[in-house]
Structure 1
């Protein structure tokens, strides 16, 4: 698999995935077991969770949501497998301005058409929309999931229009072939009638 091309969607650094083939030794160290204290019968409230643990849990949950919305990309280089997840770093106003500049630059570099159907322009705008979804999801997961629904609906609509366009082109081609065939049949009848009238005149 080829390394994926550069994207407007912001990714973290690629990570090399390795499989550990080391076998654990059969012998295990003996552990000393200390006697346990007697259980406390009076109810004890659980200790409050530290704020850092709550922040880590929220960050992990947000990263899981990001990985569901925008799956990590994987590729092989030789016998090594690389994985690259989307970035979970919050974006600033300057990041958005930079994203707009990068979009305009890539549209110009790849010579995307300004009007009409253009797969290059569609690809770049799709990457830009994914990056906006990433930025919104980091601040509010619910907004990100709603934008994901909007994106999927847009893709479904575009796919429906593409299917309709392809079927209409195929229908037009069939009609053109039928008309050509009908024209050929009319030409044959015309030649036949010409011969008949010529023989009648004789």
Structure 2
């Protein structure tokens, strides 16, 4: 498991819970640095001398035990775990009450992290969303320590916001997928339409070629029929002229035969 990164949520010092190199398992504080939110200097922080804080109480005036608060905090913000050089480390969220200075520091850390990670001020930005989510978790932690009921109510608000964002994200992804699917269908339909246009153009070209061939045949037939009709008319005229000539000759012969008889 990868070591967790820095978070705006305040955590306690990491604790070694097990070894995988054959050593004896146990709990020990990690020294030498911050493991993502806890302030580690190699020694435990002692409470100020002469100041004692009263334990928190419930709605009936009974004091709340620290274990109840820690259990609720662990249920709201689960402990972080990571494996480092064969050792399993666990880091629980801090149950130390927050002061006004802690809230001011949280605001300064938020502004610093937004500037450091170059989060955008407008639009959809996962970096800005992550940092504000961590800030909200830290505020829930601070409120839960002083009033568990208010912290649980804020937890419901946080979960509802996350569920709404997840629903919007799912809707966005589905709309993008729908748009891509429609775009692919339109592209495929465009390709099919282009192929159909090519087929129709080829069919049109073939039909135009057929029309030209039929026109040529019609012209040839008309020319042949015209020649045949002219030939028929010429032949018919020759026959008529021959018949007229024969008729004249026969008429002349008939008049020559009839004229001596009249004398």
TM category, shorter: 0.7 to 0.9
1:99 corresponds to which residue?
106
Task: Find the structure with the greater CA-based Rg.
Answer: 2
1 CA distance for matches of 2:64 and 2:159?
Answer: 28
2 CA distance for matches of 1:14 and 1:86?
Answer: 10
Q: Does 1:17 align with 2:24?
A: no
CA deviation profile, 1:54-99 (whole Å, cap 9, x unmatched): 9996222211111111111111112211111111111111111111
TM-score (structure 2 length as normaliser): 0.61
Q: Does 1:177 align with 2:163?
A: no
1 CA distance for matches of 2:74 and 2:192?
Answer: 62
CA deviation profile, 1:81-140 (whole Å, cap 9, x unmatched): 111111111111111111111111111111112222211111111100000000000110
Task: Give the superposed CA RMSD.
Answer: 2.1
Which one of 75, 81, 91 corresponds to residue 88 of structure 2? 81
1:65 corresponds to which residue?
72
Question: Where does the alignment leave 5 or more consecutive residues of structure 2 unmatched?
Answer: 26-53, 210-263
2 CA distance for matches of 1:3 and 1:132?
Answer: 24
2 CA distance for matches of 1:99 and 1:64?
Answer: 24
Question: Where does the alignment leave 5 or more consecutive residues of structure 1 unmatched?
Answer: 22-50
1:193 corresponds to which residue?
200
TM-score (structure 1 length as normaliser): 0.79
1:142 corresponds to which residue?
149
2 CA distance for matches of 1:58 and 1:97?
Answer: 28
Which one of 122, 125, 129 corresponds to residue 129 of structure 2? 122
1 CA distance for matches of 2:200 and 2:83?
Answer: 71
